[in-house]
Amino acid sequence: GESVGLHLPTLSVQEGDNSIINCAYSNSASDYFIWYKQESGKGPQFIIDIRSNMDKRQGQRVTVLLNKTVKHLSLQIAATQPGDSAVYFCAEKNQAGTALIFGKGTTLSVSS
């Protein structure tokens, strides 16, 4: 069945470190992937997306890497700050290509 998973449910880093959040996806036909951040008590917010014709895309302090060979997606956060503490979700298209399905999420905790 369709599933989008993350390798680790929790990740703890020190302020200033770089963080890497991983995601394994199952739909090899998905041509679109997206990362969301959810802070406590709020709805998920868009971070960055990438299409399957790209291997890497950079935003402000964030980079998404896509490895289609092993169906792996990662989100790199540079110089992690306490405000980056949140749950991070990856998402891919469903098999029908009509909607996005999400992974289980990774909780990032940043200590000062």
According to CB under 8 A, which one of 8, 9, 18, 111 is a site residue for other proteins? 9
Pairwise CA distance, residues 53 & 66, whole Å: 9
Contact status: 89 vs other proteins (CB under 8 A): yes
Contact status: 28 vs other proteins (CB under 8 A): no
Paired with 64 in beta bridges are: 57, 75
Pairwise CA distance, residues 75 & 82, whole Å: 17
CB of 106 to other proteins, least distance (A): 10
Contact status: 64 vs other proteins (CB under 8 A): no
Contact status: 60 vs other proteins (CB under 8 A): no
According to CB under 8 A, which one of 16, 18, 82, 104 is a site residue for other proteins? 104
CB count within 10 Å of CB 23 equals: 27
Q: What is the greatest pairwise CA distance in the chain? A: 44
Instruction: Provide φ and ψ at 82, rounded to 5°.
Output: -55, -35
Contact status: 74 vs other proteins (CB under 8 A): no
Pairwise CA distance, residues 86 & 43, whole Å: 11
Contact status: 42 vs other proteins (CB under 8 A): yes
Question: Can you give the binding site for other proteins, defined by CB under 8 A?
Answer: 2, 4, 9, 31-32, 34, 36, 42-46, 49, 51, 89, 91, 93-94, 97-105
